[in-house]
Amino acid sequence: MKLNTIKRADGARTAPKRVGRGIGSGLGKTAGRGHKGSFARAGKGKIKAGFEGGQMPMMMRLPKIGFRSKLAKDTAEVMLYQLELLEAGTVDFAALRAAGLVPSTAKKAKLVKKGEVSKAFVLKGIATTAGAKAAVEAAGGKFEE
């Protein structure tokens, strides 16, 4: 075998279709594109995703459910067991941020009942759930605005 005698395998490369070369070729006149319509035109063969030929698309027919609040990402949740890590005394939003319990992107904090609290905290300007409020008050803490 020599480099000048190497050939591709049979059928490895097929000749391209020659369209629009007369009626005898079998692909003359409309060149295999049919009659009229978007696929018969040059550069018009693409259809947008979800397009159903003018019928109301599936995404518009289905009901829309649920709601995602844009404010939810502004509020950080602080659990009771995380609050327990801090020293007893007055706790406000700045103290929570300094302790690393609230991310820098948050604009406010909410105390959630998960875990237990045994220290007496005075919470200023922090929203709470009903369960968390009861747990803090049971431990001798209170809330201030």
Tokens linked to 77 = 């949740």
Strand order through the sheet with 121-124: 89-91, 121-124, 142-144
Going from the C-alpha of 95 to that of each of 11, 56, 91, the distances in angstroms are 75, 54, 6
Which of the four pLDDT bands, split at 50, 70 and 90, describes residue 28?
very high
Q: What is the pLDDT of residues 68-127, one digit of tens each?
A: 887 778 888 889 888 888 888 888 888 888 888 898 888 889 999 988 888 888 888 888
Mean pLDDT score of the chain, rounded to an integer? 89
Q: Which amino acid is at 94?
A: A
Q: 3-state class of 130 per DSSP?
A: helix
User: Can you tell me which residue has the tokens 């709470």?
Assistant: 128
CA distance 113 to 138: 13
Q: What is the pLDDT of residues 43-71, one digit of tens each?
A: 877 888 999 989 999 999 999 999 988 77
Domains defined for the chain, CATH in brackets: 20-64 (no CATH), 73-144 (3.100.10.10)
